Structure 1
């Protein structure tokens, strides 16, 4: 017999997260169980919260144990506009249902996913140097030159992380500036990669390698910041460097497959895709070495399906994870459960008040995240702390490249 615990309310909460906001779903059941999930509106997705609230009427009164049924119903109700912000709303609701179900059973969420395969997950220090260059008022100490980049690499090594990921920077008079025309900063919609960017990128990578030493893996995230020609130029420029992967976002799986077949380095991609249907063309094209899955966007249960398909195509997965601590824990349960895991992304540079916002922070030892055995995701937002840091009216990518 199916256990039953009906959802009685679904609320949206948010708080200030420096250059963006954190967003949460709070789902309460008739038994007083609270299921939480974290979602995001700052990564090009305004309006997810409004979509969640509009869909909440179809969730209230339903049995949280039947999350697949609820997801199927919500998908059917939104099928004409499937994907995008609507898909992210479904993912956020699914993740809250999973937390509520696991807590009702008194088990960690990984038990709902087939049980854990590993107790520890290797992580890489993401946005390494990036946050301290792009957002120096929030992440200290600020990095203002190549010596700061080199020191950042050394810090990663000394703190016993085994991998880091950085981004593309332009250097003017020795000072780095984030180069992200794909996100409108600078506004250059042609997204050409010129000689100076290639020179500065190589210089940046050599500096971070100098600090990190020979044993730390270095990952480069190019995002949407080039076209096919530009990505090939980048790959040729750094062909002789020892790179763990080059992360490339492309809306065209054939173009990415063309790039991969010419790349001396492994290619990762797909962090902005929603649903297995969007991943399949990239798998069929053999366009990627590692499929990056955003589990807060897709829902962890749906993400397990994507990972299973990736396995059939001999592709490993890695979670997209640059949000708050609840997202890190949601991703940790996914990582604990999928057989074909490559590595987990996590931001180590944090806001000064991040530790106040959640009941538990991720536990990291020697570059590995320890999988918690607490019920549900293993952490919850602290509502009093959220109220102490009210959300801003602006933030995220919508404000990139604009004067604040």
Structure 2
């Protein structure tokens, strides 16, 4: 039996996800096996596709089974610009190679990672309120506190045991708006957190607690929307709430450790880091209770190394997953095999055509995702269906330009 899977072609494809795009990498081999991965260049990462295309010539003629060799070669030639967009390109390539290798061996990808240690993974409903409040394609839309109350009840009634929301503000008529200066929604490079922001966030979480019920685990994501001072003010404001975790992003390990010391709720972070070296200062400074790993960005094989380092520091991991169904499956295999798993993120509100563009969709029962046993990642995009939903110019990078008065 020929154990080689020589790469003969590499393509990137994309389609609309209404307010942003899905992006896919397709690697074909001479033996007929096709490997797929999903990547993203909406989330502050323009140019991942261009970086991949610059590296294609180093893939053609290589044996896809030797994914660690290929990753090492690509890291060598991109070392001066490692991390960022380049790191995400390497992650996308690695994930497609893993899909090829698993299909060649006729096994699920989790077998390449040491085998599964769980058959199902607990998931939490991410962007609860957020999508329905911001994007027309997600229904029913949420405009005021009544919609917040209803979606909290939905999460409970549909069997989910955890939900995550973001920072929302309420006006005098109880209409809501998302507060996100870290992403350019409200132009405030100082990212100052005034008392009204803190009070409204606390009210928002209390409303969700009241209607989701006492047994629901509630998570809140502060993103990049403050600096150390503002995060400290927020965690103090929320200290009397029973939260599963407070999630936030910052690039100062010691500052994050200080915030953790002042929070009575667990702190989760690190979803924007790429490579084990970037994670180590946060582990050494005991900056987080839970380390969030973006496996599409890092590559699942490299993410297992990151998770092993977290395990050495007695730290659990979770995965960053707000993409399409292929990313969910990639994350599911990581979650199936990693020992120190806390929980898995997933978006429950989906666009109408999500089920049309993938061969298989995640199976979720009573708030748990069942790990698929199909070869490879267990799903792939349907090329013909992608063409029905051409890419759009939307998302974080295409919002209105700020103007000074």
TM-score (norm 1): 0.98
Mapped to 1, the partners of 2:375 and 2:332 lie a distance apart of: 13
Asked if 2 retains the 8 angstrom alpha-carbon contact of 1:317 and 1:342, the reply is yes
Q: Secondary structure at the match of 1:142?
A: coil
Shift of 1:402: 5.4
Aligned to 2:375: 375
What SS class does the counterpart of residue 122 from structure 1 fall into?
A: strand
Describe the superposition over 1:12-35 as per-residue Cα deviations: whole angstroms up to 9, x where unpaired.
000011110000000001111010
Query: Is residue 186–residue 401 contact of structure 1 (8 Å, CA) maintained in 2?
Result: no
Larger mean CA deviation between 168-177 and 346-355 belongs to: 168-177
CA distance in structure 2 between the partners assigned to 1:381 and 1:319 by the alignment = 21
**Aligned mates of 1:210, 1:401 — CA distance in 2:** 36
Provide closer, same or farther for how the CA distance between residues 400 and 162 of structure 1 changes in structure 2, counting only shifts above 3 A: farther
Give a deviation string over 1:27-75, Cα, whole Å, max 9, x none.
Answer: 0011110100000000000000010011011011100110000000000
CA distance in 1, matches of 2:30, 2:395: 35
- Alpha-carbon distance between aligned partners in 1 of 2:206 and 2:301, rounded to the nearest angstrom: 40
Deviations 1:267-290 (A, max 9, x none): 000000000000000000000000
SS at structure 2 position matched to 1:193: coil
Measured against aligned partners, the alpha-carbon deviations of 1:241-279 in whole angstroms (never above 9, x if no partner) come to 110000010110010001001110000000000000000
Contact 1:121–1:344 (CA under 8 A) maintained in structure 2? yes
Kept in 2, the 8 Å contact 1:167–1:222? The answer is yes
- Give the Cα separation in 2 of the matches to 1:216 and 1:401: 37
Residues 148-174 of structure 1 show CA distances to partners (whole Å, capped at 9, x for unaligned) of 101111000000000000000122231
Unpaired runs of at least 5, structure 2: none
Q: Can you give the 5+ residue segments of structure 1 that lack an aligned partner in the other structure?
A: none
Quote the offset at 1:2 in angstroms: 8.9
State whether residues 228 and 255 of structure 2, in contact with CA within 8 Å, keep that contact through their aligned partners in structure 1. Answer: yes
1:79 aligns with 2:76: no
**2 CA distance for matches of 1:238 and 1:322?**
25
Aligned to 1:193: 193
Alignment of 1:315 with 2:308, yes or no, is: no
8 Å CA contact retained: 1:123, 1:163: yes
Q: Normalising by structure 2, what TM-score?
A: 0.98
Match of 1:317, SS state, is: strand
Distance 1:399 1:341 in 2: 35
Q: Paired residue for 2:254?
A: 254
Please give the secondary structure, in 1, of the residue aligned with 2:341: coil
Q: How does 1:2-401 map to 2 (within 5 A)?
A: 3-135=3-135, 137-172=136-171, 173-392=173-392, 394-400=393-399
CA distance in 2, matches of 1:2, 1:153: 54
CA distance in 2, matches of 1:87, 1:396: 21
Distance 2:45 2:2 in 1: 36
Contact 2:167 2:179 in 1 (8 A): yes
